[in-house]
Amino acid sequence: MMSGTSCDGIDAAIVDVSRPDQQLAVRLLAFETIEYPRMLRAALLGAMPPNPSSASEICALNFTLGEAFAEAALLCAKRAGIDMSAVDLVGSHGHTAYHRPSAAGAAPRSTLQIGEGAVIAQRTGVPCVCDFRVGDVAAGGSGAPLVPYLDFALLANRLEPRAALNVGGIANVTLLPAACAAADVRAFDIGPGNMVIDECVRIATLGRCEYDKGGALAARGRVNARLLVWLLSHPYYRRAPPKTTGREEFGADYAQAAWRRGLELNCGPNDVVATVTAATAQAIADAVPAAYRRVITSGGGAHNVTLMGMLRTALDARAVAPVRLDTSTALGIDVDAKEAIAFAVLAYEAVHGRPNNVPSCTGAAQPVVLGKLVLGCAEPARISRLLEWQGR
């Protein structure tokens, strides 16, 4: 399970994970996105920076959120007709209450995820692995990104270099050289994925739409070359990886500035949406080295047909040979469920005692088994099964 920075809700995936012949194999059995109740979302946003909070509030919210995660797990299983007794393990990322990827003054490099794993284990009766990022931070890493572990395990190829692209609020990429070892993997944030597009759509539709469904608005607009240049001149794109970005750089303020710039250039609303979509596509294409002619996309942006079309054009314009652009679904990883699947896999690896961070991507000093195992009230037979499983 995963809860993104947007505080919208919880992604829950039920996954069959195994390792036939040492090679990780994953099969998605069910996937749900369960929205947060309005009050809980307000409480979450209220406790996040820059709002003040307190030990008392965080203490309460950690438990309240744990209940929401447990409900999401139970609901996902119920809707899929899967009995919880058939679920061996829950992996839960929780929600990031604070993230400090590098030390600031007296405050050390640190991260805080909430959504109490002990509550999840108690309500579901299933052992839970939670709190993955702290272990990487303790090892000197930035605690992110964690999904490259999944990319490496499932998408790396012996013969061709592959780029695993995720277009969420932020677009990030994992570069997997041909026949790569974990140490060869690189990952970084490219820049905005849907974040700027979504905000411009909200402005263009006066809040009626939260995002550009299928890229329909962008398809009706015309790309403005001068606005495109303005967008791509953001200094973040010139910074060398590893690098990370977020709402601080590409949030509502930035989108509003883009909108105003568009108005100055006589863009219509759809033209602005088309142009921020084109900028996103171009920035992605610029970030993928030319040697990578296989790009595998996931995240909400993979449903934006206009964005994907523009990305294909931009990638092809750049490469000597054409680029093959697939969704991760085509390779067996549902585009929407990928992050949730990642935490199922990380949990699975954790209980087997296998390091599950990718130090070359996080900056950690060494491989670490991320995650904390909570056995909770699981029945003895279930615990024995899990412990035997670990013995392997």
Summarize as ranges the residues that interact with a copy of itself (CB under 8 A): 47-49, 52-60, 62-64, 66-67, 97-100, 106-112, 116-119, 121-123, 130-131, 134-135, 137-139, 350, 353, 355, 366-369, 371-378, 380, 383-384, 386-388, 390-391
> Minimum distance between the CB of residue 307 and a copy of itself, rounded to whole angstroms?
33
> What is the distance, to the nearest Å, from the Cα of residue 299 to the centroid of all Cα atoms in its chain?
8
Nearer to a copy of itself, 130 or 227 (CB): 130
Nearer to a copy of itself, 283 or 344 (CB): 344
**Residue found under tokens 């402005």:** 203
> Minimum distance between the CB of residue 71 and a copy of itself, rounded to whole angstroms?
13
Contact 134, 117 (CB under 8 A): no
> Minimum distance between the CB of residue 188 and a copy of itself, rounded to whole angstroms?
23
Nearer to a copy of itself, 128 or 227 (CB): 128
Nearer to a copy of itself, 52 or 207 (CB): 52
> Minimum distance between the CB of residue 132 and a copy of itself, rounded to whole angstroms?
9
> Minimum distance between the CB of residue 183 and a copy of itself, rounded to whole angstroms?
16
> Minimum distance between the CB of residue 39 and a copy of itself, rounded to whole angstroms?
8
Nearer to a copy of itself, 59 or 229 (CB): 59
The one-letter amino acid at 331 = L
3-state SS, one letter per residue, for 172-194: EEEEECCCCCHHHCEEEEEEECC
Nearer to a copy of itself, 51 or 266 (CB): 51
Enter the DSSP assignment of 328: G
> Minimum distance between the CB of residue 146 and a copy of itself, rounded to whole angstroms?
14
Nearer to a copy of itself, 127 or 215 (CB): 127
Helix (H, G, I), strand (E, B) or coil at 319: coil
User: What is the rounded CA–CA span in Å between residue 229 and residue 240?
Assistant: 20
List the one residue out of 84, 189, 150, 119 whose CA is nearest residue 343.
150
> Minimum distance between the CB of residue 16 and a copy of itself, rounded to whole angstroms?
22
Nearer to a copy of itself, 116 or 151 (CB): 116
Instruction: Report whether the peptide linkage leading into residue 50 is cis, meaning its omega lies within 30 degrees of zero.
Output: yes
List the one residue out of 63, 72, 79 whose CA is nearest residue 34.
72
* Parallel, antiparallel or unpaired: strands 2-3 and 9-18: antiparallel
Contact 95, 130 (CB under 8 A): no
Q: Which long-range contacts (CB under 8 A, 24 or more apart) does 255-264 make?
A: 255/195, 255/196, 255/199, 255/200, 255/203, 256/199, 256/203, 258/196, 258/200, 258/227, 258/230, 258/231, 259/200, 259/203, 261/227, 261/230, 262/224, 262/227
